[in-house]
Structure 1
Amino acid sequence: MAPYSLSTRATLNLSPHPRPISGMTQTHQLNTCSWPMGLDIQMQLQKLRKRVNRRDRKQGDLGFSKLLRSGSVRSQPVREAPKRRHWKEGEFPGVSEGSSVLGSPRTAIKNIKKKLDDKKDANAWANTVTEELHERMRKKQWEEALEVFDMLREQPFYQPREGTYIKLLILLGKSAQPEQAQRLFGLMNEEGLEPTSELYTALLAAYCRSRLIDQAFLILEKMKTLPLCQPDIYTYTNLIKACVEAFRFELVDRLLAEMSDRGITPNTVTLNVVLGGYGKAGMFDKMEELLSKMLESSSCNPDVWTMNIILGLFGNVGQVEEMERWYERFRSIGISPETRTLNILIGAYGKKKMYDKMTAVMEYMRKLSYPWTSSTYNNIIEAFADSGDAKHMELAFDQMRAEGMKPDTKTFCCLINGYSNAGLFHKVVTIIRLAEKLEIVPNTTFFNSVISACAKAEDLMEMERVYARMRDKKCAPNDETYMIMTGAFEREGMRDKVLDLNEERERMIGKDGFEVTELLDLEEV
């Protein structure tokens, strides 16, 4: 709204009885009592204007305008201002019905800014210990979370809670820290908190995630001896998943039989885990047999997760025709796809460089209002990264950030692989710095991507520095890590380095590819 002008004020009606002019001496003030009552008001106004203008010209002011600004002439009641329209959000604020015509000492914009600043100052307090603990767990920073938890235990108001321990055990399990999970479980016992089936299951899951199956079975046997900590469907599902990932299907059959003996019926989630294991192991006959039983069952019917598992299995091995056949079959029994399903199709088509079908699925998602997720963009970025198409990879990444989606660890792994495949190693350094700026939590896959980029660039010194950094970050190397590094050293004829890595691999990884640790002492559990 434009500032209120002098010409607008000059149209106001004036009262015939003006007040003394502020700022004038007694001799210059107007004496309203000396005015003849029958004299025309217009003549008096003309004399008033001449007198004030003569004085103002001597003082260098603007004449009659100063009289109006000084407030010496009272105006009659202001006519009601016409209603102005309300401005849309984002536009300059207009005048509403309740606002003053003359305006306020502070404009609306300043008022809004002041309120926002006051609100920001009011919220500028430090996190409590409990809030900081939840924040560290949300960011999956297990070391910092344990440090904050030790601080929390020192507070006078602290009371051990089962939920806090379960969350910490799950965090440690996802961070591949079973030893820390065991230490935390012992600390819980020292504080007098009674163990439950949920707490034991969280501890067992921590070992299962690290594929320490023997230790997980020892925990299962310990649970059977405790009347209040009997294993349930969640306990068995975690253990079956670990056996499936290790291709120990004889143990899977044993666990399923044990569940039947204890009266625990496997649900769809449990059977989906077994189904995925059969597919990954190439046991397609058993997979179809189990799937047929699920179709005939009244309690474990296939769901959209079953559909995703089957499509993902065939998509990952490049059997696009088989994937499409199963997609139509699941649709025929009434299972509708979800965003994850369509992301699987995009990833499968991208790996086979079938960009026309990949684009068709993307347009289908837009048309039917399926939300694009980080996984959608990751699959698109990965498709271009595998082919070394840095230009389209960058366009997809820019669009991802423009839509407000935060890239995750997989996003940066794909970007690093894409730049290294394209030979743009200077951009690998840039993208690693961006990952640090965005506080992306590095994992084993992330470091493997960086090590692979160094190997392709034939920078073996930097590769060793990244490997040392990986160990400092408590990220355990896997078979892929040693395969990349030994391959790089062999190409350069560095046999001694290859031997050292093989010996280290034997110390760190067992024959089955699992990390070697000492057996769990169940007397302390």
Structure 2
Amino acid sequence: MVKPENDDTVSGTSRRNQSGNANMERGKGSFQLVTGKGSHSYSKNQMNRIAKDEYSGSKLTCTFCICKKTCGVVCSRTKLLNILIVCGKPQAANVIFKKLIEEGHQPSLITYTSLLHALTMQKCFKSIHSLVSQVEEKQMKTNSIFYNAVINAFAESGNMEDAKKTVQKMKESGFRPSTGTYSNLIKGYGIVGKSGEAMKLLDLMLTDGNSKPDLQTYNMLIKALCQSGNMSEAWNIVCKMPASGMLPDSVTFNTMAIGYVLNSETAEAEAMILEMQRKGLEPNERTFTVIVNGYYKEGQIKEALQFVYRIKDLGFKPNLLVFNVLINGFVDRMDRDGVDEVLRLMKEFQIQPDVVTYSTIMNAWSQAGFQDKCKQIFDNMLQSGVKPDVHAYSILVKGYVRSMETEKAEELLGDMIESGVRPNVVTFTNVISGWGSSGRMDNAIKIFDKMCELGVSPNLRTFEALIWGYAKADQPWKSEEILQLMEEFHVHPKKSTFLLVSKAWRFAGLTEEAIRLRSISRAKQRINSIDEDGNVATTSERIYQKPHIAPLSSLLQCLPSSVGSTDKKGTALGARRNSRLPRDADLVTTLISTKFKCHSRTCRFVEGFSVMCHKRFQGQRGTYQLTNSCTPVFLN
């Protein structure tokens, strides 16, 4: 479903910045920037660092680059980098740049400018200062295109302080801000919610005379006003545009429609269609999608359907995305008649459903408990030539698990793999839960092994499904062993995880063990709080952060209800567990010497978990009292 706040006013910004600055004067100074305190908007931390030792630490080995001559490799790589950006693959541009450095080449200013665009597209704004510093250290001769790329990056991040400082440095270097420069600044003020500052920039452009606002400038300003909810002023700008020699286009009216939708005034957004027609403009698919999304978000899905009939009468044809929104809306209301009407309308428009359409309807039948109807829709999808994706398969798998038909769920899992669709962690976890709920933990472990073989990493819910399965099987010691396995996979247990293990002991009638697990959970949270104040725990003393969790009852409803058998030897679970658990005699020494550590009067429970005799119901168990707060239980 398309989010209406993502409009197309920013499309082509990079190209426009470069072409709009071609006729500007050139300065001779190198680029320098003093970082100020601004508001930063960082995201995608895994790609958010371009460290100097990573990109600028390699020595130059290319003869052409050392002699500061034109290097063919740098030119060709820069062209490739720009092609990747145009194709919407900025992440690959990062790899190209890094490889260029590793091979001993010196990137050109054009290369750095292109990388700036790539980082901006990925919203990796934290890397901008590092990249700018590299250009400064290399004393490269900058140009207006580079300056505008930096300004655009800061504006996109909402860091208007550094954006303004870059404009000042741009002027000091002999470059005059262009129309693209002001447009980027207006965009930035819109992002930070300062539409008044954006209006001042427009007035400055109108009075300055050097940089006249163009259509993109007006669209940026209208977007800024819409984002701040100032729709009346935004409409005033639209009405004033002809006086400046600019006529609003479809982007302008779509931006206004998005603004009305954001203000829950979808009816006003629909009125933009008539305004567009008065101006000789045709509404496009984006216009229709924005309005249908607006009615959907306001809970007026029937009004959205009536809107589709209205545009049909006007001679327009909605696209598939519009119909998917309608189907999703009627599914939310469990309105079967509404779904059927949308499907008939799609057939009338000769629009074929896609995998999203089928998946939405499948999910509705599955949640309603009609697994046969869900399977029928799945078969119809196959017959129509639409290839199901992992989400469609997962819906069907979950439905089988819900209806206690785990054999069919596992069979479908095999069909996925054979058809080339790689199951994800959700698919595997659903099957594991299904076998656990039917008391078949041997089969659950087999699915877990298959999951590991295919390289799919289990998540917290996977392990909690195993824990709860062993709990229902009255095998709490195995539930606790899963905590060790989680450490092997670097999955940190949350408070809910410890609560499940505690419940496993409580179900077995061992209240003391349940209390012990609860104490361990609280101790870890206290120690974590201490470490966050400045004391960093070592690797062997790893603790887990206190999470924000949903009520336990809602979690238990999603997990297996009964389990009856143990895991077989030779499984990945058993192998990992057996490799970690020492013998009983060694365990006592190991625990006393290494496994329990005190930190700020709090007992750390790390890798030493209790080992309970499988014959505990015969009363054969004993304890070793190690500290006042930890009481491990061992086999007699």
TM-score normalized by the length of structure 2: 0.40
Bigger Rg, which one: 1
Q: Which has the higher contact order (CA 8 A, sep 6+)?
A: 2
